[in-house]
Protein backbone atom coordinates (compact mmCIF):
# COMPACT_ATOMS: atom_id res chain seq x y z
CA UNK A 1 0.00 0.00 0.00
CA UNK A 2 1.43 3.37 -0.99
CA UNK A 3 -0.31 6.40 0.48
CA UNK A 4 2.31 8.91 -0.62
CA UNK A 5 1.03 12.36 -1.46
CA UNK A 6 1.42 12.90 -5.19
CA UNK A 7 3.33 15.80 -6.64
CA UNK A 8 2.53 17.69 -9.80
CA UNK A 9 3.86 15.13 -12.27
CA UNK A 10 4.76 16.54 -15.64
CA UNK A 11 3.62 14.60 -18.68
CA UNK A 12 4.74 10.99 -18.68
CA UNK A 13 7.99 11.51 -16.80
CA UNK A 14 8.66 9.13 -13.95
CA UNK A 15 9.99 10.02 -10.50
CA UNK A 16 13.51 8.80 -9.69
CA UNK A 17 12.63 7.32 -6.29
CA UNK A 18 9.09 6.22 -7.15
CA UNK A 19 8.23 3.00 -5.30
CA UNK A 20 10.69 3.55 -2.44
CA UNK A 21 9.38 3.65 1.11
CA UNK A 22 11.16 5.82 3.69
CA UNK A 23 10.55 5.81 7.44
CA UNK A 24 11.32 9.29 8.75
CA UNK A 25 11.98 9.58 12.49
CA UNK A 26 13.81 12.89 12.11
CA UNK A 27 12.88 16.29 13.55
CA UNK A 28 13.76 19.99 13.15
CA UNK A 29 15.76 20.67 9.97
CA UNK A 30 18.63 18.39 8.87
CA UNK A 31 16.74 15.08 8.72
CA UNK A 32 13.45 16.50 7.43
CA UNK A 33 15.34 18.42 4.73
CA UNK A 34 16.92 15.15 3.59
CA UNK A 35 13.63 13.24 3.56
CA UNK A 36 11.79 16.10 1.87
CA UNK A 37 14.28 15.74 -0.99
CA UNK A 38 13.50 12.03 -1.17
CA UNK A 39 9.76 12.81 -1.20
CA UNK A 40 10.16 15.36 -4.00
CA UNK A 41 11.81 12.64 -6.07
CA UNK A 42 8.89 10.28 -5.60
CA UNK A 43 9.59 8.28 -2.45
CA UNK A 44 6.77 7.47 -0.04
CA UNK A 45 8.03 9.17 3.12
CA UNK A 46 6.25 8.17 6.32
CA UNK A 47 6.88 10.78 9.00
CA UNK A 48 6.64 9.15 12.43
CA UNK A 49 5.75 11.53 15.26
CA UNK A 50 4.51 11.59 18.84
CA UNK A 51 0.97 12.65 19.71
CA UNK A 52 2.25 16.20 20.29
CA UNK A 53 3.93 16.38 16.90
CA UNK A 54 7.47 17.59 16.37
CA UNK A 55 8.54 21.07 17.51
CA UNK A 56 8.68 22.54 13.99
CA UNK A 57 4.88 22.31 13.80
CA UNK A 58 4.83 25.37 16.08
CA UNK A 59 7.45 27.49 14.29
CA UNK A 60 6.21 30.72 12.68
CA UNK A 61 4.68 31.65 10.33
CA UNK A 62 1.66 29.84 11.85
CA UNK A 63 -1.90 30.12 10.46
CA UNK A 64 -4.76 28.13 11.97
CA UNK A 65 -2.20 26.14 14.01
CA UNK A 66 -0.30 25.19 10.84
CA UNK A 67 3.36 26.18 10.43
CA UNK A 68 4.57 26.96 6.92
CA UNK A 69 8.16 26.40 8.13
CA UNK A 70 7.13 22.85 9.02
CA UNK A 71 5.38 22.60 5.66
CA UNK A 72 8.48 23.68 3.76
CA UNK A 73 10.40 20.76 5.31
CA UNK A 74 7.66 18.13 5.31
CA UNK A 75 5.48 18.70 2.26
CA UNK A 76 4.59 15.47 0.46
CA UNK A 77 5.08 13.14 3.45
CA UNK A 78 2.45 11.03 5.15
CA UNK A 79 2.00 11.24 8.95
CA UNK A 80 1.92 8.35 11.39
CA UNK A 81 1.64 8.87 15.15
CA UNK A 82 3.23 6.21 17.38
CA UNK A 83 4.32 6.02 21.00
CA UNK A 84 7.87 4.68 20.79
CA UNK A 85 7.97 4.31 24.57
CA UNK A 86 5.33 1.58 24.31
CA UNK A 87 5.92 -2.00 23.26
CA UNK A 88 3.04 -1.73 20.79
CA UNK A 89 4.60 1.32 19.15
CA UNK A 90 7.99 -0.33 18.81
CA UNK A 91 6.40 -3.49 17.40
CA UNK A 92 4.51 -1.40 14.83
CA UNK A 93 7.80 0.19 13.75
CA UNK A 94 9.46 -3.18 13.41
CA UNK A 95 6.64 -4.36 11.13
CA UNK A 96 6.98 -1.22 9.02
CA UNK A 97 10.76 -1.68 8.81
CA UNK A 98 10.14 -5.01 7.09
CA UNK A 99 8.43 -3.07 4.27
CA UNK A 100 10.83 -0.11 4.05
CA UNK A 101 13.76 0.76 1.81
CA UNK A 102 15.21 3.61 3.88
CA UNK A 103 15.08 4.72 7.50
CA UNK A 104 16.28 8.18 8.59
CA UNK A 105 16.71 9.23 12.23
CA UNK A 106 18.47 12.08 14.00
CA UNK A 107 18.04 11.19 17.66
CA UNK A 108 21.03 11.63 19.94
CA UNK A 109 23.24 8.51 19.54
CA UNK A 110 22.05 5.74 21.84
CA UNK A 111 18.33 6.56 21.72
CA UNK A 112 17.44 4.13 18.92
CA UNK A 113 19.63 1.47 20.55
CA UNK A 114 17.71 1.78 23.83
CA UNK A 115 14.48 1.37 21.87
CA UNK A 116 16.00 -1.68 20.16
CA UNK A 117 15.44 0.08 16.85
CA UNK A 118 19.10 0.73 15.98
CA UNK A 119 20.59 -0.73 12.80
CA UNK A 120 22.07 -3.73 14.58
CA UNK A 121 18.69 -4.60 16.07
CA UNK A 122 16.63 -4.27 12.88
CA UNK A 123 18.94 -5.23 10.01
CA UNK A 124 17.92 -8.87 10.41
CA UNK A 125 14.27 -7.84 9.90
CA UNK A 126 15.16 -6.25 6.56
CA UNK A 127 18.70 -6.94 5.27
CA UNK A 128 18.11 -4.55 2.36
CA UNK A 129 17.34 -1.56 4.60
CA UNK A 130 19.36 1.63 4.11
CA UNK A 131 19.53 3.08 7.64
CA UNK A 132 20.75 6.69 7.90
CA UNK A 133 21.66 8.25 11.25
CA UNK A 134 22.26 12.01 11.42
CA UNK A 135 23.90 13.46 14.51
CA UNK A 136 26.04 16.36 15.68
CA UNK A 137 29.34 14.52 16.03
CA UNK A 138 28.77 11.03 14.65
CA UNK A 139 27.53 7.83 16.25
CA UNK A 140 30.73 6.95 18.10
CA UNK A 141 33.64 8.73 19.76
CA UNK A 142 34.21 10.99 22.79
CA UNK A 143 31.76 13.67 21.61
CA UNK A 144 29.08 11.38 20.17
CA UNK A 145 26.48 11.85 22.90
CA UNK A 146 26.92 15.60 23.35
CA UNK A 147 23.80 17.64 22.52
CA UNK A 148 24.21 19.55 19.27
CA UNK A 149 22.30 22.12 17.28
CA UNK A 150 23.49 23.95 14.18
CA UNK A 151 24.85 27.09 15.94
CA UNK A 152 26.89 24.89 18.30
CA UNK A 153 28.29 22.95 15.35
CA UNK A 154 29.14 26.18 13.52
CA UNK A 155 31.31 27.16 16.49
CA UNK A 156 32.75 23.68 17.10
CA UNK A 157 33.81 23.22 13.47
CA UNK A 158 35.98 26.35 13.35
CA UNK A 159 33.71 27.82 10.71
CA UNK A 160 32.79 30.92 12.72
CA UNK A 161 36.40 31.79 13.57
CA UNK A 162 37.43 31.19 9.97
CA UNK A 163 34.66 33.53 8.85
CA UNK A 164 35.74 36.11 11.43
CA UNK A 165 39.25 36.20 9.96
CA UNK A 166 37.77 37.68 6.77
CA UNK A 167 35.95 40.51 8.57
CA UNK A 168 38.34 43.50 8.83
CA UNK A 169 38.18 45.26 12.18
CA UNK A 170 36.09 42.56 13.85
CA UNK A 171 37.25 40.71 16.97
CA UNK A 172 34.03 38.94 18.01
CA UNK A 173 32.30 36.12 16.07
CA UNK A 174 29.01 36.94 14.37
CA UNK A 175 25.61 35.94 15.71
CA UNK A 176 24.07 32.90 14.03
CA UNK A 177 20.65 33.29 12.44
CA UNK A 178 20.83 30.98 9.43
CA UNK A 179 21.57 27.32 10.08
CA UNK A 180 24.00 26.23 7.38
CA UNK A 181 24.93 23.02 9.22
CA UNK A 182 21.38 21.67 9.14
CA UNK A 183 20.80 22.18 5.43
CA UNK A 184 24.30 21.06 4.44
CA UNK A 185 24.11 17.89 6.55
CA UNK A 186 20.69 17.07 5.12
CA UNK A 187 22.09 17.31 1.60
CA UNK A 188 25.06 15.07 2.49
CA UNK A 189 22.64 12.53 3.99
CA UNK A 190 20.56 12.62 0.80
CA UNK A 191 23.67 12.00 -1.30
CA UNK A 192 24.80 9.12 0.89
CA UNK A 193 21.37 7.49 0.77
CA UNK A 194 21.30 7.81 -3.02
CA UNK A 195 24.74 6.17 -3.25
CA UNK A 196 23.70 3.36 -0.89
CA UNK A 197 20.57 2.68 -2.95
CA UNK A 198 22.71 2.43 -6.09
CA UNK A 199 25.10 0.06 -4.33
CA UNK A 200 22.17 -2.03 -3.11
CA UNK A 201 20.95 -2.43 -6.68
CA UNK A 202 24.11 -4.44 -7.36
CA UNK A 203 24.76 -6.11 -4.00
CA UNK A 204 21.22 -6.61 -2.74
CA UNK A 205 22.38 -5.52 0.71
CA UNK A 206 21.50 -2.58 2.89
CA UNK A 207 23.86 -0.70 5.17
CA UNK A 208 24.15 1.86 7.95
CA UNK A 209 25.03 5.48 7.07
CA UNK A 210 26.51 7.69 9.82
CA UNK A 211 26.36 11.41 8.93
CA UNK A 212 28.12 13.98 11.13
CA UNK A 213 27.13 17.64 11.23
CA UNK A 214 30.62 18.54 12.50
CA UNK A 215 32.36 16.99 9.51
CA UNK A 216 29.76 18.44 7.15
CA UNK A 217 30.58 21.96 8.36
CA UNK A 218 34.32 21.31 8.20
CA UNK A 219 33.89 20.63 4.48
CA UNK A 220 33.14 24.35 3.99
CA UNK A 221 36.61 25.37 5.20
CA UNK A 222 38.73 23.99 2.37
CA UNK A 223 41.69 26.37 2.51
CA UNK A 224 41.54 26.60 6.27
CA UNK A 225 41.67 22.82 6.73
CA UNK A 226 44.86 22.68 4.68
CA UNK A 227 46.46 25.68 6.37
CA UNK A 228 45.69 24.31 9.85
CA UNK A 229 47.78 21.21 9.16
CA UNK A 230 50.91 23.24 8.53
CA UNK A 231 50.43 25.98 11.13
CA UNK A 232 50.33 28.73 8.52
CA UNK A 233 47.73 31.38 7.87
CA UNK A 234 45.12 30.47 5.29
CA UNK A 235 46.11 31.75 1.85
CA UNK A 236 45.26 35.36 1.20
CA UNK A 237 42.38 35.90 -1.13
CA UNK A 238 40.41 38.88 -2.39
CA UNK A 239 37.87 40.05 0.16
CA UNK A 240 34.69 40.31 -1.87
CA UNK A 241 32.21 42.62 -0.21
CA UNK A 242 29.68 45.37 -0.86
CA UNK A 243 30.38 48.49 -2.85
CA UNK A 244 28.08 51.39 -2.06
CA UNK A 245 25.75 53.10 -4.51
CA UNK A 246 23.45 56.08 -4.04
CA UNK A 247 20.62 53.79 -2.95
CA UNK A 248 22.06 50.47 -1.85
CA UNK A 249 24.95 48.04 -2.23
CA UNK A 250 26.32 45.85 -5.01
CA UNK A 251 28.51 42.76 -4.87
CA UNK A 252 31.23 42.58 -7.51
CA UNK A 253 33.38 39.47 -7.98
CA UNK A 254 36.67 39.93 -9.84
CA UNK A 255 37.31 36.31 -10.68
CA UNK A 256 39.66 36.47 -13.69
CA UNK A 257 42.06 38.72 -15.58
CA UNK A 258 39.37 39.43 -18.14
CA UNK A 259 36.93 40.43 -15.41
CA UNK A 260 39.50 42.77 -13.87
CA UNK A 261 40.27 44.44 -17.19
CA UNK A 262 36.58 44.87 -17.99
CA UNK A 263 35.88 46.34 -14.56
CA UNK A 264 38.64 48.90 -15.06
CA UNK A 265 36.92 49.93 -18.27
CA UNK A 266 33.59 50.27 -16.47
CA UNK A 267 34.95 52.53 -13.73
CA UNK A 268 37.02 54.62 -16.15
CA UNK A 269 40.43 53.45 -14.89
CA UNK A 270 41.90 51.52 -17.85
CA UNK A 271 45.40 52.65 -16.83
CA UNK A 272 45.14 50.57 -13.64
CA UNK A 273 45.54 47.42 -15.74
CA UNK A 274 49.25 48.27 -15.99
CA UNK A 275 49.53 49.90 -12.56
CA UNK A 276 52.17 48.04 -10.46
CA UNK A 277 49.69 47.91 -7.58
CA UNK A 278 47.15 45.93 -9.58
CA UNK A 279 48.78 44.48 -12.71
CA UNK A 280 49.09 40.92 -11.40
CA UNK A 281 46.73 38.89 -9.26
CA UNK A 282 49.22 38.87 -6.39
CA UNK A 283 49.56 42.67 -6.66
CA UNK A 284 45.80 43.14 -6.49
CA UNK A 285 45.56 40.81 -3.53
CA UNK A 286 48.16 42.82 -1.63
CA UNK A 287 46.50 46.12 -2.53
CA UNK A 288 42.91 44.98 -2.43
CA UNK A 289 41.65 47.75 -0.17
CA UNK A 290 43.01 50.44 -2.49
CA UNK A 291 41.53 48.73 -5.52
CA UNK A 292 38.07 48.48 -4.00
CA UNK A 293 38.19 52.07 -2.75
CA UNK A 294 38.73 53.07 -6.37
CA UNK A 295 35.78 50.97 -7.51
CA UNK A 296 33.57 52.41 -4.79
CA UNK A 297 34.55 55.95 -5.70
CA UNK A 298 32.85 55.24 -9.02
CA UNK A 299 29.81 53.38 -7.66
CA UNK A 300 28.93 55.93 -4.96
CA UNK A 301 27.98 58.47 -7.62
CA UNK A 302 25.34 56.31 -9.33
CA UNK A 303 22.27 54.24 -8.47
CA UNK A 304 22.29 50.50 -7.96
CA UNK A 305 20.38 50.02 -11.20
CA UNK A 306 22.88 52.12 -13.17
CA UNK A 307 25.79 50.35 -11.53
CA UNK A 308 24.46 46.91 -12.45
CA UNK A 309 23.64 47.98 -16.00
CA UNK A 310 27.23 49.13 -16.55
CA UNK A 311 28.74 46.01 -14.97
CA UNK A 312 26.47 43.66 -16.93
CA UNK A 313 27.30 45.41 -20.19
CA UNK A 314 30.94 44.43 -19.68
CA UNK A 315 30.23 40.96 -18.29
CA UNK A 316 31.42 41.68 -14.77
CA UNK A 317 29.76 39.27 -12.28
CA UNK A 318 27.64 41.36 -9.93
CA UNK A 319 24.38 41.56 -8.02
CA UNK A 320 22.49 43.98 -5.86
CA UNK A 321 22.22 43.00 -2.21
CA UNK A 322 18.62 41.82 -2.12
CA UNK A 323 16.19 40.75 0.54
CA UNK A 324 14.77 37.24 0.34
CA UNK A 325 11.47 38.76 -0.80
CA UNK A 326 13.25 40.53 -3.63
CA UNK A 327 15.10 37.35 -4.60
CA UNK A 328 11.85 35.36 -4.71
CA UNK A 329 10.34 38.00 -7.00
CA UNK A 330 13.17 37.62 -9.53
CA UNK A 331 11.74 36.64 -12.96
CA UNK A 332 14.45 33.97 -13.14
CA UNK A 333 12.83 32.21 -10.18
CA UNK A 334 9.49 32.20 -12.00
CA UNK A 335 11.13 31.01 -15.22
CA UNK A 336 12.74 28.08 -13.40
CA UNK A 337 9.54 27.12 -11.62
CA UNK A 338 11.50 27.32 -8.39
CA UNK A 339 8.41 27.84 -6.24
CA UNK A 340 5.50 25.43 -5.82
CA UNK A 341 2.14 26.37 -4.34
CA UNK A 342 1.09 23.91 -1.66
CA UNK A 343 -1.69 23.60 0.89
CA UNK A 344 -2.09 22.90 4.59
CA UNK A 345 -4.85 23.46 7.14
CA UNK A 346 -4.13 27.19 7.13
CA UNK A 347 -4.51 27.67 3.38
CA UNK A 348 -2.02 27.89 0.53
CA UNK A 349 1.58 29.03 0.58
CA UNK A 350 4.71 28.54 -1.50
CA UNK A 351 7.72 26.30 -0.92
CA UNK A 352 10.96 25.96 -2.80
CA UNK A 353 11.32 23.10 -5.24
CA UNK A 354 14.67 21.34 -5.30
CA UNK A 355 17.31 23.43 -7.10
CA UNK A 356 17.85 20.99 -9.96
CA UNK A 357 15.86 19.80 -12.97
CA UNK A 358 16.15 16.42 -14.66
CA UNK A 359 15.33 15.79 -18.30
CA UNK A 360 14.10 12.26 -17.63
CA UNK A 361 12.36 12.59 -14.29
CA UNK A 362 9.91 14.78 -12.42
CA UNK A 363 11.35 16.60 -9.40
CA UNK A 364 8.62 18.57 -7.67
CA UNK A 365 7.15 19.22 -4.23
CA UNK A 366 4.00 17.44 -3.13
CA UNK A 367 0.69 19.28 -3.09
CA UNK A 368 -0.22 19.31 0.59
CA UNK A 369 1.09 18.95 4.13
CA UNK A 370 -0.38 16.06 6.09
CA UNK A 371 -2.15 16.73 9.37
CA UNK A 372 -0.66 15.12 12.46
CA UNK A 373 -1.44 11.40 12.46
CA UNK A 374 -3.56 11.61 9.31
CA UNK A 375 -2.43 8.22 8.00
CA UNK A 376 -2.06 6.35 11.30
CA UNK A 377 -5.08 4.09 10.83
CA UNK A 378 -4.14 3.23 7.25
CA UNK A 379 -0.66 2.08 8.26
CA UNK A 380 -1.90 0.15 11.30
CA UNK A 381 -4.26 -1.76 9.03
CA UNK A 382 -1.48 -2.37 6.53
CA UNK A 383 0.79 -3.99 9.12
CA UNK A 384 -1.98 -6.40 10.10
CA UNK A 385 -3.63 -5.04 13.22
CA UNK A 386 -7.22 -6.18 13.71
CA UNK A 387 -10.11 -3.76 14.11
CA UNK A 388 -10.14 -4.42 17.84
CA UNK A 389 -6.38 -3.91 18.17
CA UNK A 390 -6.56 -0.70 16.17
CA UNK A 391 -9.38 0.66 18.33
CA UNK A 392 -7.48 0.06 21.55
CA UNK A 393 -4.18 1.15 20.01
CA UNK A 394 -5.45 4.47 18.72
CA UNK A 395 -7.27 5.34 21.94
CA UNK A 396 -4.41 4.51 24.28
CA UNK A 397 -1.37 5.18 22.14
CA UNK A 398 -2.16 7.71 19.42
CA UNK A 399 -4.72 9.92 21.13
CA UNK A 400 -6.31 12.15 18.50
CA UNK A 401 -4.55 10.56 15.53
Closest CA to 27 of 87, 70, 68, 82: 70
Residue 200: pLDDT band (50, 70, 90) is very high
pLDDT > 70: percent of the chain: 94
Phi, psi of 135 (to 5 degrees): -150, 170
What per-residue confidence (pLDDT) applies to 232? Answer: 79
Closest CA to 6 of 333, 340, 328: 340
What per-residue confidence (pLDDT) applies to 237? Answer: 77
pLDDT tens digit sequence for 231-276: 877 667 788 999 999 999 999 999 899 999 999 999 999 999 999 9
What per-residue confidence (pLDDT) applies to 58? Answer: 94
Please give the Cα distance from 187 to 81 (Å, whole number): 26
**pLDDT of 371 higher than 70:** yes
Q: Is 38 helix (H, G, I), strand (E, B) or coil?
A: helix
What per-residue confidence (pLDDT) applies to 7? Answer: 46
Does the pTM surpass 0.75? The reply is: yes
Phi, psi of 244 (to 5 degrees): -85, 145
Given a contact cutoff of 8 angstroms between Cβ atoms, the answer to whether 233 and 166 are in contact is: no
Given a contact cutoff of 8 angstroms between Cβ atoms, the answer to whether 60 and 69 are in contact is: yes
Beta strands in 257-346 (DSSP E): 318-320, 339-344
Taking residues 61-77, what's their average pLDDT? 97
Please give the Cα distance from 88 to 324 (Å, whole number): 46
What per-residue confidence (pLDDT) applies to 135? Answer: 98
**pLDDT of 3 higher than 80:** no
Higher pLDDT, 131 or 11: 131
CB atoms within 10 A of CB 248: 14
List the domains of the chain with CATH numbers: 21-221+331-396 (3.40.50.10540), 249-320 (3.30.1540.10)
**pLDDT of 198 higher than 90:** yes
Given a contact cutoff of 8 angstroms between Cβ atoms, the answer to whether 206 and 129 are in contact is: yes
What per-residue confidence (pLDDT) applies to 398? Answer: 44
What per-residue confidence (pLDDT) applies to 2? Answer: 55
**pLDDT of 400 higher than 50:** no
Counted residue by residue, the chain has a size of 401
Higher pLDDT, 36 or 391: 36
> For 361, which DSSP code?
B
Q: Is 56 helix (H, G, I), strand (E, B) or coil?
A: helix
Contacts of 353 (CB under 8 A, 6+ apart): 40, 337, 338, 339, 340, 363, 364, 365
Closest CA to 213 of 129, 148, 295: 148
pLDDT tens digit sequence for 128-147: 999 999 999 999 999 999 99
Taking residues 82-90, what's their average pLDDT? 92
Q: State the burial class of residue 275 (Cβ atoms within 10 Å of its Cβ: 0-12, 13-18, 19+).
A: middle
Taking residues 282-300, what's their average pLDDT? 94
**pLDDT of 396 higher than 80:** no
Amino acid sequence: MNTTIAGNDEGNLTRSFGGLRVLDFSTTIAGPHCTRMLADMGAEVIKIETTEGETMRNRPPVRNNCSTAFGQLNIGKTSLVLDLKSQEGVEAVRRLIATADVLVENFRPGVMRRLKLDYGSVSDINPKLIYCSISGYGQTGPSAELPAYAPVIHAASGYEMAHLAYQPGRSRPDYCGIYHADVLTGVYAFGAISAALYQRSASGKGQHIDVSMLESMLSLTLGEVQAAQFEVKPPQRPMFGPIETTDGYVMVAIASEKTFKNLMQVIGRPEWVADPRFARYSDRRDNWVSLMEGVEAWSRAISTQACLAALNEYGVPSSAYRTVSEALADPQIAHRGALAEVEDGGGTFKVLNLPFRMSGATVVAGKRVSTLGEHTLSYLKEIGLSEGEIAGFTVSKTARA
